[in-house]
Amino acid sequence: MIQHDSIDPIPPAERTDSRLYQLFFVWFTANMNVIAFGTGSVGPAFYGLGLKESLVILLIVDVILIRVTLTYRSAVLGPKLGMRSMVQARYTWGYYGVMLPSVLNVFSMEGFLILNTIIGGQMLASVSDGHLNDTLGIVIIAIISLLVSFCGYRVIHWFESVAWVPNVIAFIIMLGIGGKHLNDAPASGPVSASTVITFATVTASSVISWCSMTPDYGVYHLESASRLRVFLYAYAGFLIASITGHMLGAAFAAVALSGTNPVWQAGFDDGNNVGGLFEAILSPTGGFGKFMTALCALTIPSACAPTVYTFSSSLMTVSYFFAKVPRYIYAIIATAILIGVGIVCAQRFYTTFTDVMSLIGYWSVVYGVMILVEHYVFRKDDFAAYDLNAWNQPRRLPLGVAATLSFLCAFGIIIPCMDQAWYVGPIAKAGSGDIGIIVGSCIICILYPCFRAIERTMWRF
């Protein structure tokens, strides 16, 4: 199998990998780790939700939204077209219009990397007995992620097939040791609807954001692979891992914040140290707990390496000139940025987390829904409707005006609906909570079909 270090589509003759089960392990491993644990902890730690409310919200978001975001667009189109995500998007956005989501995806991948390395750095610092701080821990995780990303597509798939093992073992041990304390989670007080909606939005953002990178890891698999099997492998990988990590994070965070377990409370550092909480839960096992915490921290590159890979391919899609730069240069740039920004943001983890996740979610849901509408409404779920030779020929692709105009109009509505630490829109301020993702999805479903229909009458493709 030839490894392509560019954004060129993979020809059918090279799409020969029949191991569809890899699609399960890639996404199972990327989510079966402390990153998902940290996402679940946001409900009690940042929004003050009780355990019951947090678990119900997480269940609904994981089961429904993972199903929606892992439809043909994000799972099946990789093997069927052999194109990476942002190249596929040219068939909706056009050659020049796709520069906008490509740039946004670059920033999104960087945001993911920052959050991942912060948690990894916290975990390494928590087991070092003062010999290593968060800063050095962030650097270590970042460099390991960079090295894994250098190894390419096949090594990433291999790494993802084994890196989940320490995390599953750790989660089982944590339940065995700390499960008896989960009954100490206090009953929640009154919860406003706006708080529930806003937490659901943040969680949904963490799920939806995968849709802009999922196709990148199926481009070497068989073109003739069953759509259903591809979908089920990807869906199962995401769902099992996400729902496990999310719910464990919510449960242990709720108890830690209740004050009934001083060790957990100290490790969590008033809700600002997910890695410290992880280590505190395992602390009764002594040195073995520290070993497992460190080992789990070293598996965080299972989420970072694919993100670095997509960061690079998205940047290469922005411009013909960017595509000429070797992928490893972009990987080094991404790593340098995440180390600097991650060190600064580590001191305010949850604020950083909610800001990054929500911003990614706003544009990702608009982008994802638009791609789905194009595929089902205008291309009739027919892969033959994609001219695979036109991927880098502007005149044989859509004009992109419909996509760009729809996107901008949707954001004109999303902005007043935002509820962020740095900005609360008038609609959100009125008590609705952060409904930006919901409103954005509805607007795109209305506007894009109208604008695209008009565009097709004026532009052939």
- DSSP letter at 49 equals -
**How confident is the model at residue 70, as a pLDDT?**
55
Q: How far is CA 328 from the centre of its chain?
A: 22
**Whole-number Å distance between alpha carbons of 25 and 4:** 22
pLDDT 10s digits, 218-243: 888 888 888 888 888 888 888 899 99
pLDDT digits (tens, 9 = 90+) for 354-389: 778 778 888 988 998 899 899 999 999 888 899 989
What 3-state DSSP class applies to 120? helix
Q: What is the pLDDT of residues 129-149, one digit of tens each?
A: 777 788 888 899 889 888 887
**Phi and psi for 380 in degrees, rounded to 5?**
55, 35
Name residues whose C-beta falls within 8 Å of residue 300's C-beta, 6 or more positions apart in sequence.
33, 34, 35, 116, 117, 119, 120, 123, 141, 145
Question: What ranges in 259-400 are assigned the alpha helix state H?
Answer: 262-268, 274-282, 287-297, 301-318, 327-345, 349-373
Give tens-digit pLDDT for 340-362.
888 888 777 777 777 787 788 88
Q: Angle of helix 34-47 relative to helix 349-373, nearest 10 degrees?
A: 110
Closest among 200, 207, 153 to 368, alpha carbons compared: 207
pLDDT in tens, 288-321: 999 999 999 888 888 888 888 888 889 999 988 8
| Residue 131 neighbours by CB under 8 Å, 6+ apart | none
Q: 401 to each of 90, 159, 210, 362, 410, how far by Cα in Å? A: 12, 41, 25, 20, 14
391-427 pLDDT per residue, tens: 999 999 999 999 999 999 999 999 999 887 778 889 8
The per-residue pLDDT for 401 is 95
- For residue 187, the 8-state DSSP code is P
pLDDT at 189: 67
Q: What structural domains and CATH numbers belong to the chain?
A: 20-347 (1.10.4160.10)
Taking every pair of Cα atoms in the chain, the longest distance, rounded to a whole number of angstroms, is: 69
Percent above pLDDT 90 for the chain: 29
Amino acid of residue 220? Y
Distances (CA, A) of 417 to 54, 201, 241, 368, 438: 22, 11, 30, 19, 10
Model confidence at 188, pLDDT cuts 50, 70, 90, reads: low
Residues 6 or more apart whose Cβ sits within 8 Å of residue 158: none
pLDDT tens digits for 230-283?
A: 888 888 888 899 999 999 999 999 999 888 889 998 988 877 788 889 999 999
Count of residues in the chain: 461
Helix (H, G, I), strand (E, B) or coil at 40: helix
Query: If pLDDT is split at 50, 70 and 90, which confidence band does 460 have?
Result: confident
Task: Please check the confidence at residue 76 and state whether its pLDDT lies above 70.
Answer: yes
Say which residues have a Cβ less than 8 Å from residue 344's Cβ, sequence separation at least 6.
none
Query: What is the mean predicted confidence (pLDDT) over 19-45?
Result: 87
3-state secondary structure (DSSP) of residue 50: coil
Asked whether the beta carbons of 222 and 16 are under 8 A apart, the reply is yes
396 - beta bridge partners? Answer: none
With H, G, I as helix, E, B as strand and everything else as coil, classify residue 138: helix
Contacts of 176 (CB under 8 A, 6+ apart): none
Nearest to 62 by CA among 196, 269, 245, 312: 245
